[in-house]
Structures are given as structure tokens and as C-alpha cells.
Amino acid sequence: MAKYSERAPTMANPVFRGISYGVAAMLLSVVHVVFLRFIAVGSITPDLMLILVVWVALIEGQFTGTIAGFACGLLFDAISGDVIGTNALAKTIAGFVAGYFFKPGFGIAIIGNYRFLLIVTLAGLIHNLLYFTFYVRPMQVGFFEFVLTYGIATTLYTTVVAVFPMLVVNRR
Amino acid sequence: MRRVIEFVVRFKNYITLCSLVVMSFAFMSVGSLSQLGGFRAVIVGSIGWIQSLFAWVPNPVALKSENTALRELNLQLSIESSRYRQAMVENGTLRNMLLLPTYTDDKLIAADVVGKTNTELRNYATINRGHDDGIKEGQAVVTDAGLVGTVIGTSAHYAILQILLNRDVRISARVYRSNVDGILTWEGEQFLSLKNVPRTYDVKVGDLVVTSNYSISYPTNVVIGRVSNVSDESNSLFRKITVTPSVNFSTMDQVFVIDKLPNKERVHLEDSITHRQLQKAMSR
């Protein structure tokens, strides 16, 4: 972490970090609405915003991670046209859970490690379980069948995509 | 006071979590994006603008799929074309015999699909026509293949379509061959499900499914798809019917919005009757 701060001193400023997270969330939103259909497998796509939430939770802690989850979830709900609040709820709790793995000064070390993938998987599973609870409720399909088909597939795809930030941080 | 502050500081994570969860539920109770008034128009406009900027980017997977679909459609159309010519002659003769009034086709507004949101099973499409072009919420959208969905939100130059593969879609549909009615819903993947069809009713694989005349939201006899599977569940009085939509939603790039809104008089009448019956039932 010390080495990382030396290389990028501006990132030590919490305000600058907050702005950069906001910009990252906006960019991911654009990527989500424009480019994600190109890598969609069936209707399964990775949840880039969840990766950002886990990242924030591991770098900034549980408190900020929870708030970031809520903010990213609201943004996601707005751009995806779904019921406002469903993603906000799921990502808030995902950010809170990811925050349990926060260790001051070791955030970058965790992200550059396979543990990041495990945390993304765990947060993704909890996120999808919660999200599909609200999603499947009005439909006449089996909840577990739906979660097994889409929830786990989305989580796995998100975990695969999370390998890229892990490798980038790892190489640094 | 100090104790309170200490308590808040100590449990700030849990307090924040609880507050945000409560706020999320509050947002959910507000409802879907389509119920958020002016906010919706801003989002629709912004998404449409961003998607139109990148609409030129080709999707090789979709192109391949579209190519295959077009070949199949071409073959199908050439067969149907000869049938159609024959039917036209027959139809003209029968109309003359019965003195039926000729029906007028509704005006169609052509639009390009500039974006699709099919992530996490929320299937919407954005088109480059808005309320300035005469697009209104509630209008049905079709392609040459069949029914696409309805318009659920508009801005000046863009509109968002709720396509059939969406959990909120309920269509009053009919099996064209046997006139069997049912309710069409989406239950995941690329298929639709025709509900409320008793086991004794005649439905076969390959049957054409069209919009029913009971439907308020959609015009009658618009092709939806074909029955791809029929099975009887052991503990149910109804059949389990799977319908494959005629429209290939992954390759759809041009659509037509039917410039016709549900009949207000009919909607008003049906709503008032339902309301009256509900009041009667409650007073009992």
C-alpha cells in the first residue's frame, strides 16, 4: 500500500479518491448501457458495478463500501430501467459484506490477490440472491431454479471479469 | 449525549446499513422507472443519446445470428408470398360476397434501435424516435416478424421499449389455428409461456400464436411466435405451453411503432365495471 501511495500521491487524498470512484461509476454505467451487450452470453452479463463496490469496500472500509454500494445501486437502477431500489438494496448489502474483508493498508494487496476473486464471488452471490428475491417474486417460476440458472451464472461471469483488475493491480 | 455519539460512532456501519436498506425499500415502494415522471425523460434521453453515439459499432455475434435469421425468413417469406397471393384472390372474392368493410391499416412509424439493455434479465430497447415524432407511451411496437413490445417511456427524440422478454409483460394471446385463448408471460431465457390453457384444449407444437382481440394494449392478430413445446403437468388442470417468439430480439435493429393507442372508451368502461364489482365485493 505504501508503495502504491508513493507512486500515485494524489490517490492519498480522500476527496480525489471519492471523485475518481464517482467518475469510475459513471464510466462503468456508460460501458454497461453501450458495450456490455457485446460480451453478453445469452442474457448473462458481468456486474461491473459490483466489482467497483467491492474494490471501494476493500480500499476504504465497510462504512464507505456500504455507501458506495447504495450509490452505485441507485445509478444502476436508473440506467437499467428497473424498479428503483432493488439494486441499491442488493449492492448496499454486498458492499457491507465486502467491507468485512477490509484491512487498513492492505486493500491493494487483497485486490491483487486471488482473495479478491473470492470476495467478489461471495458479494456477487449475496447480491444476486437478494436481487432475484425481488425479481422473481412477481413471476410464476421457481425461485431456486431461477437463482441457480441466472444468479450463479452472473456471479461466475462477474468473477471472471474481476480477474482483470486483479491482474492489473498484481502487475503493479 | 456523549454516550449517544459514542454509540453512533461505534455502530456507524450498522446504522448506515440499516438506514440505506430502509431508503432502498422506500425507493422500491415508489415503483418502477416509468412512474418517476420527469426523471424518466432525462434518463431515457441520456441513455438514448449515449447509445446512438455508439450505434455504429457492429456486433459480430449478432450479425451472424441475423444473417441466419434472414435466410430463414427469406425462405419462409417466399413460401408465404405464394400462399398470400392465393389468399388475396380468395379474400377479395369472399369480401365481395359478404360486403365486409375494408379495414384500414394503422400508420406505422419506422425507428432504428439505437440501444438494447438486456443485462441482468431486464430487457429493454431504445429507439431513435420520441414524442416529437408522435411516439406515445402505450403504443405497440412490431417488426416484419411480429410483436416486439410496447413503448414505456419517451423523451423528445428517444423512446424506451419494453420488449416481450420482460417479467412485467402479460399479453392476452390466442392460438391462431384453434382459437384457444391464454395469457402469455415471460419466465426467463428466450421463451414465452402461454398460461391458463386447460389440458383438454387443442394446442399443438408449431401452432401460430397471435395477439387476442381481448387485448387492450396490443392490436389484434399480430404474430407473437410459434408453440415450441406442449406438456401436461401431473398436478395441474392446465397445460404447460412454451412459445418461441418470432422476433429475434438480439438482432432486431429496426422496428415500427403502431400509431394507435388503446381505445379509451373501452379501457374506461372495463375499468369502471371492474371498479364497481370490486366495490360490491367489498361491501358484502
Distance in angstroms (rounded) separating the CA atoms of residues B17 and B28:
16
Burial classification of residue B210, based on how many CB atoms lie within 10 Å of its CB (0-12 exposed, 13-18 middle, 19 or more buried): buried
Give pLDDT < 50 ranges for chain A.
1-10
Render pLDDT for B100-153 as a digit per residue (tens, 0 to 9).
434 336 778 888 888 877 655 667 888 888 888 889 888 889 887 888 998 988
Q: What is the pLDDT of residues B231-267, one digit of tens each?
A: 887 777 788 889 999 888 877 878 888 887 777 777 7
CB atoms A85 and B119 under 8 Å: no
Q: What value does the mean pLDDT take over residues B258-280? A: 72
CATH class, domain B170-245, is mainly beta
pLDDT in tens, B173-230: 999 888 888 888 887 777 888 888 888 888 888 888 998 887 777 888 888 999 988 8
Neighboring chain A residues of B51 at a CB cutoff of 8 Å: 33-34
| Mean pLDDT, residues B12-17 | 88
CB A54 within 8 A of CB A120: yes
A32 in contact with chain B, both atoms CB, cutoff 8 A: yes
Q: Which domains does chain A have, with CATH numbers?
A: 2-171 (1.10.1760.20)
Residues of B in contact with A146 (CB under 8 A): 188
Smallest CA–CA distance, residue A19 to chain B, in Å, is: 21
| Cross-chain Cβ contact A37/B28 below 8 Å | no
In a mutagenesis test of the A interface, which of B28, B113, B116, B119 is the best target, namely the one with the most A β-carbons within 10 Å? B119
Long-range contacts of A109-115 (CB under 8 A, 24+ apart): A109/A1, A110/A58, A111/A55, A111/A58, A111/A59, A111/A165, A111/A166, A111/A169, A112/A166, A112/A169, A112/A170, A112/A172, A113/A166, A113/A170, A114/A166
Asked if A34 has any chain B CB less than 8 Å from its own CB, the reply is yes
Q: Which of B238, B265, B248 is nearest to B76 (CA)?
A: B248
Report the distance separating Cα B218 and Cα B184, nearest Å.
12
B113 φ/ψ sector (left φ>0, alpha ψ -120 to 50, else beta): beta
Burial A145-164 (b: 16+ CB within 10 A, else e): ebbebbbbbbbebbbebbee
User: What residues 84-113 of chain A have any CB closer than 8 A to a CB of chain B?
Assistant: 84-86, 88-89, 92-93, 96, 99
Residue-level pLDDT at A65? 93
| Window B:222-281, CB contacts with A under 8 Å | none
**What fold characterizes domain B104-164+253-262?**
Thrombin, subunit H (2.40.10)
DSSP-assigned beta bridge partners for residue B235: none
Taking 3-state DSSP, the helix, strand and coil percentages for chain A, each rounded to the nearest 5, stand at 80, 0, 20
Report the pLDDT value the prediction gives residue A93, as an integer from 0 to 100: 94
Sequence ranges of the domains in chain B? 104-164+253-262, 170-245
- Do A141 and B51 make contact, defined as CB atoms within 8 angstroms? no
- pLDDT for A23 equals 92
DSSP chain B: -HHHHHHHHHTHHHHHHHHHHHHHHHHHHH--GGGSTHHHHHHHHHHHHHHHHTTTS--HHHHHHHHHHHHHHHHHHHHHHHHHHHHHHHHHHHHHHHTPPPPPPPPEEEEEEEEEE-GGG--EEEES--GGGT--TT-EEE-SSSEEEEEEEE-SS-EEEEESSSTT-EEEEEETTTTEEEEEEE-STT-EEEES-BTTS---TT-EEEE-TT-SSS-TT-EEEEEEEEEE-TT-SBEEEEEEESS-TTT--EEEEE-----HHHHHHHHHHHHHHHHHHHH-
What is the least distance, in Å, from the CA of A7 to any CA of chain B?
A: 31
Which candidate in B24, B47, B190, B191 is best for mutational testing of the A interface (most A CBs within 10 A)? Answer: B24
Q: Are B36 and A70 inside 8 Å of each other by CB?
A: no
Rounded to 5 degrees, what angle do the CA atoms B154, B60, A156 make? 80
User: How close B188 comes to chain A (CA, Å)?
Assistant: 8
B54 part of contact set with chain A, CB < 8 Å: yes
Output the pLDDT for position B232.
80
For residues B57 and B37, what is the distance between their CA atoms, to the nearest angstrom? 32
Domain B104-164+253-262 and domain B170-245 have a common topology: yes
CB pairs under 8 A between A and B: 140
Q: Choose among B17, B36, B118: nearest Cβ to A66.
A: B17
Share of chain B above pLDDT 90, in %: 4
